[in-house]
Structure 1
Amino acid sequence: MKNVWKATMRSILPICSTPALIAALALSLAACSTTKVQPAKAGGRYYLNDGPPKGVTQAQIDAVNEPVPRTERFVSGTLKPYVAMGNSYRPMNKLMPYHARGVASWYGTRYHGMPTASGELYDVMKLTAAHPLLPIPSYVRVTNVENGRTLIVRVNDRGPFLSDRIIDLSYAAAAKLGYAAKGSALVEIDVILP
């Protein structure tokens, strides 16, 4: 049920207007009663039919360029304190040094085309991330501790809200860092300052 709540929260947090919020809640609750819940990954299946895009080759993943960090105006609605899954969060309202080490996961096709907290549509093939506290947008360097690969991603969404995860990456970012097939990895993240 925790994962269903996470999926519900990810889909409704970016929505600001009341009628849209009510509609999203209704659809999310309806999905709870009809969606077949699958294990996180067993025999090539993913939770709630999430997973990598079909037919994507390693050459296509390799061709995805890292975003170039630049100064951007923060999305004001993402700077306010909020509660998700019973926990309170107070997002950073300015860029400052930030370093963290923990588990990164990724999200795939289930959320492709859905609005992120920034208002942009999530794209599995862009190098983006979700973080509960960092300003949106901001840029971080993510290093896979297990294999030493490093990558710059643009934070444009809120999450993950599970206590054992520090960041959610797009599918392309996870694939470039070498952990998409595994599902999660121990990473270090560092904010890139202007």
Structure 2
Amino acid sequence: MKKNVIILSFALLITMLLSFSHKNHLSFERKAFLSDTVKKKNIIILDATTAIDSIKITDSIATLETRIFKSNVEASHYSDKLNGRRTASGKIFNNKNYTAAHKTLKFGTKVKVTNIVNNKSVIVTITDRGPFTKNREIDIAKTPFLDISHNSGRGLLRVNLEVIQ
């Protein structure tokens, strides 16, 4: 009887230790929470290469009031390893969304980014701070970067930035 009690208590102790170490194990994956769910917004397609998120469907690029913010500046795109992380505004980053990072513009500001070389443009929403690289003005998510890029999307682009009012 004593032997069975000792074996049972030893098995419980090992089970507790294993379950404790499993819950506190740090890993690179982050579990999803209910607060992380993202509602899809209305997306309108202007042509095959341009899409706008969260702007009224009745609007078009021609009717939007914009003001030049900066001309002939460098733009880069986010790395894929940042998917799923929180941005400075608290939103979950996804490289497929039309979002960007800027050092000084307010969160939620809509910016029209136009590639100087091929005159393609996209409208992105500022949701993060950065880029923290010298001479770089804006970081764009990968999908809008590829939409206006003239190559496979590697490197930097020279762009004009216009703030939508």
TM-score interval for Structure 1 and Structure 2 normalised by the shorter chain: 0.5 to 0.7
Question: Deviation of residue 186 (structure 1)?
Answer: 0.2
Q: Is 1:184 the counterpart of 2:159 in the alignment? A: no
Q: How many residues align?
A: 108
Report the residue type matching 1:100 in the other structure: K
Percent identity between the two aligned chains: 30
Q: Is 1:67 the counterpart of 2:71 in the alignment? A: no
TM-score normalised over the length of structure 1:
0.51
1:113 alignment counterpart: 84
C-alpha contact 1:69 1:192 (8 A) present in aligned 2? no
Which of 97, 112, 130 is the matching residue for 1:141? 112
Structure 2 unaligned segments of length 5 or more: list them.
1-26, 28-47, 57-65
TM-score normalised over the length of structure 2:
0.59
Higher helix share: 1
Distance in 1 (CA, whole Å) between partners of 2:55 and 2:106 is: 13
Question: Deviation of residue 182 (structure 1)?
Answer: 2.8
Structure 1 unaligned segments of length 5 or more: list them.
1-26, 28-61, 71-95
The verdict on how the C-alpha distance between 1:64 and 1:124 changes in structure 2, with shifts beyond 3 A counting, is farther
Alignment of 1:17-96 (within 5 A): 65-69=51-55
The verdict on how the C-alpha distance between 1:122 and 1:181 changes in structure 2, with shifts beyond 3 A counting, is same
Question: Deviation of residue 98 (structure 1)?
Answer: 5.2
Report the residue type matching 1:111 in the other structure: L
Post-superposition Cα deviations, 1:129-155, rounded to whole Å, max 9, x if no partner, equal 000000001100000001110110011
C-alpha contact 2:50 2:122 (8 A) present in aligned 1? no
Report the residue type matching 2:94 in the other structure: D
- How big is the alpha-carbon RMSD for the aligned residues of Structure 1 and Structure 2? 2.3
2:133 alignment counterpart: 162
C-alpha contact 1:64 1:126 (8 A) present in aligned 2? no
Secondary structure at the aligned position of 2:146 is classed as helix
Question: Deviation of residue 118 (structure 1)?
Answer: 1.0
Distance in 1 (CA, whole Å) between partners of 2:102 and 2:83 is: 17
Greater Rg, structure 1 or structure 2?
Answer: 2
Distance in 2 (CA, whole Å) between partners of 1:188 and 1:131 is: 14
C-alpha contact 1:140 1:190 (8 A) present in aligned 2? yes
Secondary structure at the aligned position of 1:167 is classed as strand
